[in-house]
Amino acid sequence: MRRDPECIFCKIVAGELPSKKVYQDDKVTAFHDIHPIAPVHILIVPNQHIASVNQVEPEDADVLGHMFWVARQVAEQMGVAERGYRLIVNTGEHAGQVIFHIHMHLLGGRPLGRMLCQS
C-alpha cells in the first residue's frame, strides 16, 4: 500500500488521526469533512496515497472506480441519494486543492446552486 508518512489523510485511513468515519473497506475510506460547507459533506479517499488526479496511473482505475460505488453507498446512508448530491475532486492550485491525497467531496442536503461561482 502506497503511503506518505506526512499525509494527514494517510493517517486518517490508518486510524492514527481522529475522524468521523462513515465507511471503510480494504480500498476506500469515507469520513466527515472537518469544516462542512453543506448539511452533508463527506470526503471519500483511496486508502493508498495518490497525491492528485495529476498522479493517476492506469493501475489506479480499479480503486478510483470503486470510489464511485462507495459514493453511491454513502449517499444512500446519508439520505441524499434521492434528492441529489454533488461530487467534486479539486486538483491543483486553481481548484484550491489543499490536501494532496486525492479525495472526492460528497456534498448534499440542500440545493447546491450553480456548479461554479461566476467570479
96 forms part of the interface with ligand AMP (CB under 6 A)? yes
For Zn ion, the closer of residues 101 and 105 by Cβ is 101
Phi and psi at residue 32, to the nearest 5°: -65, 135
Taking CA atoms, 113 is separated from 2, 9, 18, 84, 116, in Å, by 37, 28, 31, 12, 8
- Residue 61 near ligand AMP by CB under 6 A: no
34 vs 61, beta carbon nearer ligand AMP:
34
37 DSSP assignment: S
**CB 25, CB 85: distance < 8 Å:** no
Would you call 101 a catalytic residue per the annotation? no
60 lies in the binding site for Zn ion (CB under 5 A): no
Q: Which of 10, 80, 97, 106 contacts ligand AMP by CB under 6 A? A: 97
Report the interface residues with ligand AMP, using CB under 6 A: 8, 19, 33-35, 43, 90, 96-99
